[in-house]
Structure 1
Amino acid sequence: MIDDISGIVAQKILDAGIIRSEDHDIYYYGLQLVVSTIIKVFGLIFIAVLFKKVIEAVIFLTVFGFMRINAGGLHLDTYMKCFIATAASMMLIIWAGSSIPSYLSFYIISVALAISFLLIIRYAPVDNPNRTLSKREHGIYRKRSIYAITIQIIIIVTAYFINIKLYRYCSIASLSVLFESLTLLPLASRCRQE
């Protein structure tokens, strides 16, 4: 479905003379990303609505997505596998973050963010199997990954200290960052290749 929609739209903009024929594949790939992202986000929000966890899902999607765009990570070979893995991970993280008692939240948040920072420093960015980063792009995304994790740490810690009642949301955010950081590990890529 995603391929069909992307192919039709790419062909229509080619036929309309908006793009050159040699750029067709680039636009087709870009459209695949846009269409799959829209479908995935709506699907994940739909699941969150069913479970009455919309705010938590938005936190997960924002934090995870912000790191993912900059750092990369494990990619599965089909859109459906990616959707199922993301949905399961989102619900697990929401459940885990919501289950942390307030007296442990500071320690969990601190450890999750510290491990995430170290993993980002060590492994980010990770190439996408569909597009390898050039040396220059690798440097750019490395800096962006470090900025992204730093910004997220500042926001999560600040929110926690401004209002301790936000600890569940901060826990979900920190676990979301940790989850994305774990997808950078070489072990994650090896598991996919086997």
Structure 2
Amino acid sequence: MKIIEKMVQQDIIQKENKEWMEFGLRQAVHIMGNWCLVICIGLLFQLEIWQSLFFYFSYCIVRIFAGGYHAKTRPGCYICSMICIALAFLIYQQITINKIVCCLLYMIAVIMIICYSPMDNPNKRLSVVEKVHYRKIVRCVLLLYSLLFAGTMCISFYRMYVLSLLAVLFAGIMVFAGLLQEKISIHR
């Protein structure tokens, strides 16, 4: 990356940190690209920008700590993620869901995530200490989202509680898909 090379030449960063800086810059560009793509997908489904960002942020936070299905390649992961997001936005746009069904689906997703997370990544297995740590974090995150979900449901802020449901539901689906992925790889 030319910008990093110039920073090394100008002694802004040390040569030994060059690889880390390049990695960080690539990650930042990748993350910003994801956010922009999510906004574009949301706009295609006539969601407001805040709705797209709220869903994506909520979904990502749960997915980071809960784990679940992992594609074998980065492009595969990217495509799978964008399909899930588009599907969630399509569902959000097309259905009206009552509070009882919404609560039941939310509880099923939370139970699934609590029971089976954190899921190992086939490329990097978690140690026992890491599993305990991520289990605590995912439970705290789910508690916060559950409070948000309940609060927005109490004040009948439909758009917010349905987006919360979809974020947790799709994270739960990815945990379930991760279980299937693990079972299939064991039988091979």
Relative to the length of structure 1, the TM-score reads 0.76
List gaps (5 residues or longer) in structure 1: none
1:95 to 90, 102, 112: 90
Quick one: distance in 2 between partners of 1:94 and 1:61? Answer: 10
Is the Cα–Cα contact under 8 Å of residues 92 and 162 in structure 2 kept in the other structure? yes
Taking the aligned partners of 1:55 and 1:181, their CA distance within structure 2 comes to 22
- Residues 132, 159 of structure 1: alpha-carbon distance in 2 compared, 3 angstrom cutoff: same
The equivalent position to 1:138 in structure 2, one of 127, 131, 149, is 131
Q: Residue 183 of structure 1: which of 157, 168, 174 is its match?
A: 174
Q: Is the 8 Å Cα contact of residues 105 and 171 (structure 1) preserved in structure 2?
A: no
Q: Which residue of 1 aligns with 2:53?
A: 58
Match of 2:160 among 141, 158, 169: 169
Could you tell me which runs of 5 or more consecutive residues in structure 2 were left unpaired when the two chains were aligned: none
Q: Which amino acid aligns with 1:96?
A: I
Greater shift after overlay, 29-38 or 72-81?
29-38
From 42, 62, 78, give the equivalent of 1:48. 42
Are 2:138 and 1:113 equivalent residues in the alignment?
Answer: no
| Range with bigger deviation, 27-36 or 40-49 | 27-36
RMSD: 3.0
Alignment TM-score, normalising by the size of structure 2: 0.78
**Rounded Cα–Cα distance in structure 2 between residues aligned with 1:66 and 1:128:** 16
The residue matched to 2:175 in structure 1 has which SS?
coil
CA distance change for structure 1 residues 157 and 12 in 2, over 3 Å: closer, same or farther?
Answer: farther
Which whole-Å deviations, capped at 9, do the CAs of 1:124-178 have from their partners, x for residues lacking one? 111233433222121111100111111111101111111x2x2233112202211
Distance 2:8 2:112 in 1: 42
Q: Over residues 43-87 of structure 1, what are the superposed CA-to-partner deviations in whole Å (9 max), with x where a residue is unaligned?
A: 221222344312331222021011012212212123332222222
In the alignment, which residue of structure 1 is the partner of 2:70?
A: 75
- Contact persistence 1:112–1:175 (CA under 8 A): no
Counterpart code for 1:159: T
What fraction of aligned residue pairs are identical, expressed as a percent? 24
> How many aligned positions are there?
182
Go from structure 1 to structure 2 and tell me whether the alpha carbon gap of 1:11 and 1:45 turns closer, same or farther (over 3 Å shift).
same
